[in-house]
Amino acid sequence: MGRDLADVLISEEAIRARLAEIAAEVDAEYAGKDLLLVGVLKGAVMVMADFARALHGPAEMDWMAVSSYGSGTKSSGVVRILKDLDRDVLGRHVLIVEDIIDSGLTLSWLVANLRSRGAASVEVMALLRKPEAAKVAVDVKHVGFDIPNAFVVGYGLDFDERFRNLRVVGTLAEHVYSS
Ligand code: IMP
């Protein structure tokens, strides 16, 4: 799989260290509160698993699956719920755990959706953020890394369902797109 990467943007160690920093901030912010982590499948699986374990305080986890991308690399702008949360978020303090914010379309829709269900608070933690995301009027409380505007894979992120299990975040080599 290593041959398929053009560049490693973020190493395993850097991800681990940054998640520990964010977890310490989140522990302080939610001390004494009932925290619900909401992960967006499938991309956020790795960040949720590592981030949740970096927290010291209690947190529940729930998952949603939404469609925003087809099998290519462009955002469709259409968000559809493929799998909804298992439990009600009414009165809960929700922290959305996202892999990456690109156009921000998925995220702004998700924040509005969870607020409309009566969550006590809805905040966002995203491992990666691309420059376009700055244009979206969604307040992202915690960002792991700001990255350049390139298509990235690994650590949960895929290209046509491949490369999610890479331990690093990287850009793809040209031959992967053209094959
Ligand atoms: P947005 O709605 O444009 O912010 O995109 C949200 C979703 O698109 C993310 O949760 C990812 O699943 C996917 N996505 C955006 N950029 C990338 C990328 O560079 N690589 C892989 N998936 C991406």
Over range 89-109, report the average pLDDT.
Answer: 92
For residue 57, the model assigns a pLDDT of 96
Pocket mutation for ligand 1, best pick of 5, 47, 102, 135 (most atoms within 8 Å of C-beta)? 102
Measure the CA–CA gap between 11 and 8, rounded to whole angstroms.
Answer: 7
Structural domain spans, the chain:
10-149
What sign does the dihedral 147-52-11-1 (CA atoms) show? negative
User: pLDDT (tens digit, 9 = 90+) per residue, 12-21?
Assistant: 999 999 999 9
34 counts as catalytic: no
CATH assignment of 10-149, among 3.40.50.2020, 3.20.20.70, 3.30.1330.10, 3.40.630.40: 3.40.50.2020
pTM for the complete prediction? Answer: 0.92
CA 126 to ligand 1 centroid distance, Å: 11
For residue 126, which of 151, 86, 156 has the smallest C-alpha distance? Answer: 156
For residue 60, the model assigns a pLDDT of 98
User: pLDDT (tens digit, 9 = 90+) per residue, 56-67?
Assistant: 999 999 999 998
